[in-house]
């Protein structure tokens, strides 16, 4: 089933025409309403009328995550606050979150693109949908919620976590469609099998999985364990949230991008120049229709490739590959974005901590765990006396770890394990790039 056949199977030329018209309007719109864009266009000697269509896209300035931080919280909004229906936020690179806003029309557009995702995933109106993405500032929960309602599913807004309850509702409510992170889906599958539940007794057929990178092997494992099928969904709050793109169940080979709303480029991250279709580069989006917080050429930091070949499902919108990596040091831990700089922001200035640390990410079962190893200052070490430092039961050590855990939780929104390192034991730069992140999940 195709949710919006007129748009989703639009001939490429007609789609490009639509994009060009929208891009011209967007150039006018942001020039008139967003000071940052007006300044950047002025600085580049660029007038809105210089944008004649998508062939002029390359003239427009880039937007980066730091621009959202510099304009925190609402400085990039293009409408007065009384027209902003909702805000969401995701992790920024420091203690402050990245804030995004939506008008009522933006919320409608978001529901529309998410409804398309449900159809692409093979869901059917009338089915029970268990939404195990987190509700709250994170866009995952509410984005999928509105999309499912628009599509016509019955929504179970259970949110993330509490595996026993998830399984109970899968059984009792006869859930047919479920959305969560891929790693959580695998945890759930293992728990179902461990509890001796026959997967055939469940109705769940469709898993819509995203918010973190995953692999074909994970898909094969999940599909085999539960006898379901799983598709990939991609999105980021800056652009809208989930629903930027989604795999069609017919091909399961790349995610169709809602190109009528999100104009897409794949660029060489170092030069900013476009790469050829099929080649890996950074995916960059321009929001063509967003009102509250339109973005020009937003550098996602996500690496993938683009495929514009015809798809067997009949959709004409281009497909992006799985996310193959990041241009920056962002980690995704249990679906939550974590930047090493946030860890630093949480810990600097706290007494007894030296400004040296290491992050170790591991996977226990299917769930990610993060350990922050923090070096203590000489003073603390001496206060405790030689030999007593390593004793995790020591009151002073326990107290210091608890304080760090609390500070990290406030900034990262997830629990981190904290261990203390003796002075001089954290990684130091040896001329080259300092390696303080050890991702042992792969």
Which of 79, 313, 407, 416 binds Zn ion (CB under 5 A)? It is 313
Min dist. Cβ of residue 159 to Zn ion (A): 30
Which of 76, 158, 248, 372 binds Zn ion (CB under 5 A)? It is 248
Contact of residue 103 among Zn ion, ligand ADP, none (CB under 5-8 Å per partner type): none
Q: Give, to the nearest 10 degrees, the angle between helix 216-226 and helix 182-194.
A: 30
Closest CA to 363 of 167, 182, 179, 166: 182
DSSP, res 199: G
Q: Are the beta carbons of 413 and 91 closer than 8 angstroms?
A: yes
What is the number of other CB atoms lying within 10 angstroms of the CB of residue 209? 24
Q: How far apart are the first and last CA of the chain?
A: 36
Which of 130, 131, 166, 237 binds ligand ADP (CB under 6 A)? It is 237
Contact of residue 213 among ligand ADP, Zn ion, none (CB under 5-8 Å per partner type): ligand ADP
Contact of residue 251 among ligand ADP, Zn ion, none (CB under 5-8 Å per partner type): Zn ion
By DSSP bridging, strand 255-257 and strand 241-247 are antiparallel
What is the number of other CB atoms lying within 10 angstroms of the CB of residue 389? 20
Distances (CA, A) of 181 to 97, 213, 215: 21, 9, 12
Contact of residue 248 among ligand ADP, Zn ion, none (CB under 5-8 Å per partner type): Zn ion
What does the block give as tokens for 212? 């973190």
Contact of residue 84 among Zn ion, ligand ADP, none (CB under 5-8 Å per partner type): none
- Closer residue to ligand ADP (CB): 54 or 236: 236
Helix (H) or strand (E) segment spanning residue 383: helix 378-384
Is 181 a residue that touches ligand ADP (CB under 6 A)? Answer: no
Grouping H, G, I as helix, E, B as strand and the rest as coil, residue 113 is helix
Q: Are the beta carbons of 327 and 301 closer than 8 angstroms?
A: yes
Which of 234, 285, 353, 389 binds ligand ADP (CB under 6 A)? It is 234
Is 236 a residue that touches ligand ADP (CB under 6 A)? Answer: yes
Per-position x/- string for 415-434, each x denoting binding to ligand ADP as judged by CB under 6 A, each - no binding: --------------------
The window from 43-51, 135-143, 198-206, 412-420 that contacts ligand ADP (CB under 6 A) reads 135-143
- Give the Cα separation of 238 and 5 in Å (integer): 26
The window from 28-36, 133-141, 376-384, 421-429 that contacts ligand ADP (CB under 6 A) reads 133-141
What residues line the site for ligand ADP (CB under 6 A)?
90, 138-140, 210-213, 232-237, 241-242, 300, 302, 323, 332, 335, 337
């Amino acid at each position: 089933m195709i949710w919006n056949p007129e748009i989703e199977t639009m001939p490429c030329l007609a789609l490009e025409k639509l994009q060009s018209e929208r891009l011209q309007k967007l150039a006018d719109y942001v020039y008139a309403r967003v000071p940052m864009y007006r300044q950047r266009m002025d600085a580049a000697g660029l007038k809105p009328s210089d944008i004649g269509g998508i062939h002029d896209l390359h003239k427009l300035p880039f937007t980066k995550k730091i621009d959202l931080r510099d304009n925190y919280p609402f400085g990039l909004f293009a409408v007065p606050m009384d027209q902003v229906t909702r805000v969401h936020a995701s992790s920024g690179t420091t203690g402050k979150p990245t804030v995004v806003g939506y008008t009522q029309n933006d919320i409608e557009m978001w529901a529309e693109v998410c409804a398309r995702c449900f159809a692409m995933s093979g869901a059917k109106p009338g089915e029970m949908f268990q939404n195990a993405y987190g509700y709250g500032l994170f866009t995952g929960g509410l984005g999928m919620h509105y999309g499912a309602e628009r599509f016509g599913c019955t929504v179970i807004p259970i949110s993330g976590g509490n595996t026993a309850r998830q399984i109970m509702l899968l059984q009792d409510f006869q859930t047919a469609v479920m959305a969560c992170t891929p790693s959580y889906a695998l945890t759930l599958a293992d728990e179902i099998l461990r509890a001796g539940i026959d997967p055939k007794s469940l109705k769940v057929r469709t898993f819509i999985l995203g918010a973190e990178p995953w692999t074909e092997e994970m898909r094969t494992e999940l599909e085999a364990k539960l006898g379901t099928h799983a598709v990939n969904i991609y999105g980021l709050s800056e652009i809208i949230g989930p629903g930027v793109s989604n795999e069609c169940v017919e091909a399961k080979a790349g995610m169709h991008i809602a190109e009528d709303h999100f104009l897409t480029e794949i660029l060489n991250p170092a030069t900013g120049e476009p790469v050829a279709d099929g080649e890996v580069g950074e995916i960059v989006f321009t929001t063509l229709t967003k009102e509250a917080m339109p973005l020009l050429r937003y550098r996602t930091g996500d690496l993938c490739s683009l495929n514009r070949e015809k798809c067997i499902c009949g959709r004409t919108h281009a497909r992006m590959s799985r996310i193959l990596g990041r241009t920056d040091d962002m980690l995704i831990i249990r679906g939550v974005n974590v930047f090493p700089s946030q860890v630093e922001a949480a810990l600097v200035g706290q007494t007894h901590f030296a400004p040296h640390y290491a992050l170790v990410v591991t996977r226990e079962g299917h769930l990610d765990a993060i350990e922050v190893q923090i070096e203590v200052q000489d003073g603390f070490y001496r206060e405790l006396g030689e030999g007593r430092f390593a004793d995790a039961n020591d009151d002073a050590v326990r107290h210091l770890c608890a304080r760090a855990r609390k500070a990290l939780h406030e900034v990262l929104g997830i629990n981190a394990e904290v261990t203390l390192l003796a002075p001089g034991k954290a990684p130091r730069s040896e001329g080259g790039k300092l390696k303080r992140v050890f991702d042992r999940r792969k």
